[in-house]
A and B are shown apart, each in its own frame.
Chain A
Amino acid sequence: MTAPFDLTDDSVVVVIGTGAGGGVLANELAQKGVSVVSLEAGGRHLPEDFINDEWESFGQLARLDPRTTSGDWRVAKDFSGLPAWIVKSVGGTTQHWAGASLRFQDHEWKTKSTYGDVQGASLLDWPIDAAEMDPWYTRAEDKLGVTRTGDRPGLPGNNNYKIFEAGAKALGYEQVHTGRMAINSDENRDRNMCQQTGFCFQGCKWGAKWSAGYVDIPEGEATGNLEVREKSHVARILHDDSGKVTGVEYFDADGNLQMQKARLVCVAGNSFESPRLLLNSASSMFPDGLANSSGQVGRNYMRHMTGSVYAVFDQPVRMWRGTTMAGIIQDESRHDPSRGFVGGYELETLALGLPFMAAFLDPGGWGREFTTALDSYENMAGMWIVGEDMPQETNRVTLNMDVKDQFGLPVANVHFDDHPNDIAMRNHAYKQGAAVYDAVGATRTFPTPPYPSTHNLGTNRMSENPRDGVVNKWGQTHDIANLFISDGSQFTTGAAENPTLTIVALAIRQADHIASQMSQGNL
């Protein structure tokens, strides 16, 4: 039968979420002839709908449903109700992402073996490695059209990049370039070429940047095997007496509770909503939540060690012109404990418009120390720091029983404390970032604290041993054979790289596995 599917059709695969994980998985399954119902909490926003205005776009795309925070991370102080800057829309956060598409370094699949014991960290080796992932990465790069992979040229550097590159070279850095980006760099592709418009975070109005929302989802729908139900909030995953998943309950666009039967359920709602859904699905058979016999659901929340460095020069830069993330320094991404921490970090250019710069440069800051920085906004350059943070069991997503969402369900509380390794790495990165700009004549630099998280990882982590995590090497939960996790929450560790390419590669690989297991009658 072809989409749309009946609520009682128990032959369908239900995929929850349509972002980098769920959107890709749904399309890949549909291409293989599998019937898929995708349930997406957000609405559909296409390139023509996107808005070149930071706050207006934020209102259009950001997920603003209530969440709470705790812990010593500065986000809990500055943005207590907004732990994450992620998107509620068909396409999820791939609508908003900058496009950086980096593979893990080989050793980052095996951090426990490479770094050894780090006090307070729950490091673990992934049950997969670089060799196994190589072909899936290649398929992900081809799907996303990643620059500097295959035969795709790099993007040109904008003003913000030119400053960054000159400073990096003056400092002796060697791995400096305009990045591997899922942004089209030439005219002979199926997406438009980048027009250096800026506003990458607000959704690319040219469609030059890859997004699951306007690439994978329409491709999947064109097969007749994929039905996307927008504005559908999944409340609970249901199971039978044998402990097998049978379907999901969700609130439809009109707020009515519906039940969709399913042969298999794949959860890809981001690292807050995915564990929240498993926990909210607790039953008499699974009183601690689904797939939680290990007690690991919600634990080991990672958000990348982040921060930014902005700098003021005595002449104009106009960093907002062109690609938001226009280049990268990779020299510090290596593992080199002589720097005082394990793991490494990337430095990537970043630009904010004036409205967001006022909100994020120094949250809570005021007076002339703050305003003289903004007075030089036109002469400002900026970079973002993204590094591997340590998984910690106590950094976790739990249900906040005192705060309910619009459907009366407990919201996610996000608890995060920085690990000493995270702090040491951030301080190193602040110093190096400032040195890059000082090398080309910065008159003032700013070590800007982390924004609400966009890289949310690890709350349903992958493990060889069912005791240590929630899912196996295929993203299949250890406890329930027909329940899969398909988003960044399955990350065992976070690596230094932006996670989207890895989420996409894992989703392509998982689709292959699910389809073959289904055809063999194992699922």
Chain B
Amino acid sequence: MRFTHKTKTLTRRDLLSRSVAVGAGFVVGAGYVASSNAAWAMETTSLQPETMAALVQMARDIYPHDHVGDEYYVIAVKGYDTEDAAPGVEAGVAALNAAAKGRGHADYLSMRWERDRVDLLRSMEASPFFQQIRGGLVTGLYNQKAVWPLFGYEGESFSQGGYIDRGFDDINWL
């Protein structure tokens, strides 16, 4: 498995010519999934690319942050692309797609409105699959050091001498 940010190997033209759009901003080809603007692409080894695309969308629907790019959600769920984890995830996403069909959509990714997808997820909230994905995201997404600056969080401070001279009491709007 390989994750590429701002991929150079797959141009937008390549993506559009060699892949199929699967809805909600994803394109998939043989063994890979990418964003439709080619901002990122990921080769999958155990999961179907369509499954990985659904998983990334599901991750964003569970913890939507509009200022956080898809690449961080990809990192948060790419650990499921293993031989051990894949069968359970394939089954979970299949159930998600079946539920979407039951609501008159082709599959989960074809549900264009977030509120429709979230409604569907709410109906499956108690399922072990949903809880596995949600629970994993708590650390998978929010414990990525690269995500912290997007929320203003500064992380480690000891090596910089703490905040005693760096604004621990700098509030100026009270």
Contacts and interface: CB of A to CB of B under 8 A. Distances in A.
Interface of A: 52-53, 55, 156-159, 162-163, 166, 194-199, 205-206, 315-318, 320-322, 353-355, 357-359, 364, 366-368, 370-371, 374-375, 377-378, 440
A318 B167 contact: yes
Contacts of B154: 318, 320-321
B168 interface: yes
Contacts of A316: 152, 171
Nearest to A165: B174
Query: What bracket does the count of chain B residues touching chain A fall in?
Result: 35 or more
A354 B162 contact: no
Contacts of A370: 63
B60 to A, nearest CB: 10
Most buried by B among A52, A354, A377: A354
Most buried by B among A55, A194, A198, A364: A198
List 7 A-B pairs, minimum CB-CB distance, nearest first.
A378-B152, A197-B162, A195-B162, A322-B168, A358-B142, A52-B156, A196-B168
Contacts of B147: 354
Given A162-B169, A321-B163, A357-B142, 12 more contacts: A194-B164, A197-B158, A197-B162, A205-B158, A321-B168, A322-B162, A354-B147, A354-B148, A354-B153, A364-B134, A367-B62, A375-B67
Contact of A55 (B61, B62, B143, B158): B143
A55 B148 CA distance: 14
Contacts of A198: 157, 162-163
Contacts of B155: 52-53, 353
Contacts of B141: 358
Contacts of A206: 158, 162
Contacts of B14: none
B25 interface: no
A355 B139 contact: yes
Nearest to B157: A197
B65 interface: yes
B22 interface: no
Contact of A156 (B152, B156, B169, B174): B169
Nearest to A366: B62
